[in-house]
Copies of this chain bind each other. A is one copy, B any other.
Amino acid sequence: MSLVLNREQLSDYLVEVFPQVEKDFVIDSLDENSITMRLKVGDRHLRPGGTVSGPSMFGLADVSVYAMILALKGRQSLAVTTGCSMDFMRKPDGANDMIARCSLLKLGKTLAVGDVLMFSEGSVKPVARATMTYSLPPAGSAAAAFG
């Protein structure tokens, strides 16, 4: 499957639909098999002890998979997150950005599944993993999104 949106187009589109997250995320790289997304870690993402908060990691995983779906399906996509499982394995380093490497395990007509590994930049041991599932309503049926 080839990319419908390249990195610049995808980045512009994310800013357009999620203006509130523009300051948080950067697409480091994108090809037809995977995306690397960066969370620009700032004070608002931290918890006492200098770790990155769980909600921030959830958000990073979610935007990574969503962006990969958009890159392959195009702007008209209406993917709705229906499920998530995460394992938190190591303490994230709040002094560094967090890097998510994401690929899709499935991109079907009605269901997408994305896999994400998250690292504190500079470390090779994963901080967390996530699997996110999405419902993909048929084009034009936004009302069906919560099937």
Interface residues of A (CB under 8 A from B): 17-18, 20, 44, 47-48, 53-56, 58-59, 62, 80-91, 105-106, 108-111, 113, 115, 117, 126, 129, 131, 133, 135-136, 144-147
Copies assembled: 4
> Which residue of chain B has the shortest Cβ distance to A84 in the bound complex?
B86
- Assess whether A105 is in contact with B87, with CB atoms less than 8 Å apart: yes
In the complex, A83→B105 CA distance in Å? Answer: 13
Bound CA span A53–B63, Å: 11
What are 19 of the A-B contact pairs (CB < 8 Å)? Answer: A53-B59, A54-B58, A83-B83, A83-B85, A84-B84, A84-B88, A87-B113, A87-B131, A89-B105, A89-B106, A89-B111, A90-B106, A91-B145, A91-B146, A105-B117, A108-B147, A111-B147, A113-B129, A129-B131
